[in-house]
Amino acid sequence: MHPIDSLDTNLLLALADDPRATVVALALELGVSRNTVQSRLAQLEKRHLFLSFERRLNPVALGYPLMAFISVHIQQQKLGAIVEQLAEIPEIIQAHGLSGSADLQVRVVCRDAEDLFRLSKAILACDGVERADTALAMSELIEFRMEPLLRRDSSGT
């Protein structure tokens, strides 16, 4: 992957500050042409620097006020099939393969404790899942962020 340069960094910082900024507004702010901004945005998108819009949706506003992290222990040879089964559960909003004692870390959202119990049972029902440990998210202390990395990398430290 090619590193981003200072113009890309400044463009990303401007978008972090105002995600709805127009290409013209970004060009004015950065002191470059509209075509340069459009070209850079296209290159950044092609390099997969932008995550999906879904990351900006708030599950609480959609009626899912509880979030939990479920550590799943599986039979490794069944990983592919298990992931396919988990992907069919809409309340699973993210899953990662792990090293360490658990094999998967699954992030779920749910309506209430009873809904979380139902989700846990659905995960345990997947063929190859041996056990699962659930931790309820009490609060988000640091929101998903990239700006500190951009600022650090742009300062050269």
pLDDT in tens, 4-49: 899 999 999 999 899 899 999 999 999 999 999 999 999 999 999 8
Single out the residue of 130, 83, 136, 87 nearest to residue 109, CA to CA.
136
Does residue 105 fall inside a structural domain? yes
Does residue 98 fall inside a structural domain? yes
Does residue 97 fall inside a structural domain? yes
Domain assignment of residue 101, given as a range: 66-136
Which pLDDT band holds residue 1 (cuts at 50, 70, 90)? Answer: low
